[in-house]
Amino acid sequence: MLINVENLKLSLNGVSILQDVQLHVAPNQIYGLIGPNGAGKSTTIAVVLGLYAADSGKLELFGKATEKTSADVRRRIGVMPEHAGFYDWMSACDYLAWHANLYGGPRRAIPELLAQVGLEQAGRCPIGRFSQGMRQRLALARALAHGPELLILDEPTNGLDPRGRREIHDLFLSLAREQGVGILLCTHLLDDVDRLCSRIGIIHHGCTVLEGPLAELLGRHGAGGVYRLRLDNVPDAGAMPKEMEMEDRGNGWWCVRLPTDTNPADLWQRLLEHGWRIREIRAEGGGLEDLYIRMTHAAVESRQEGTV
- The residues binding other proteins (CB under 8 A) are 42, 46, 49-51, 71-72, 74-75, 77, 79, 81, 83-87, 89-90, 98-99, 101-105, 142
CB of 22 to other proteins, least distance (A): 22
Nearer to other proteins among residue 75 and residue 108 (C-beta) = 75
CB of 167 to other proteins, least distance (A): 23
CB of 276 to other proteins, least distance (A): 54
Alpha carbon distance 276, 235 (integer Å): 7
CB of 212 to other proteins, least distance (A): 28
- For residues 181 and 189, is the Cβ–Cβ distance under 8 A? no
C-alpha dist (Å) from residue 186 to 32, 171, 250, 307: 6, 16, 38, 29
Nearer to other proteins among residue 90 and residue 173 (C-beta) = 90
Name the strands in the sheet holding 3-12, side by side, starting at the edge strand that comes first in the sequence. 64-65, 56-61, 3-12, 15-25, 207-213, 199-204, 30-34, 182-187, 150-154, 77-80
Nearer to other proteins among residue 97 and residue 278 (C-beta) = 97
Nearer to other proteins among residue 81 and residue 286 (C-beta) = 81
Residues with Cβ within 8 Å of 228's Cβ and at least 6 positions away in sequence, in order, are 253, 254, 255, 256, 281, 282, 284
CB of 49 to other proteins, least distance (A): 5
Alpha carbon distance 231, 254 (integer Å): 8
CB of 75 to other proteins, least distance (A): 5
Nearer to other proteins among residue 79 and residue 184 (C-beta) = 79
Alpha carbon distance 219, 223 (integer Å): 7
Nearer to other proteins among residue 93 and residue 231 (C-beta) = 93
Nearer to other proteins among residue 154 and residue 192 (C-beta) = 154
Q: Could you count the other beta carbons within 10 Å of the beta carbon of residue 153?
A: 25
CB of 285 to other proteins, least distance (A): 32
Q: Could you count the other beta carbons within 10 Å of the beta carbon of residue 89?
A: 10
Alpha carbon distance 53, 66 (integer Å): 10
- C-alpha triplet 283, 289, 293: angle, nearest 5°: 130
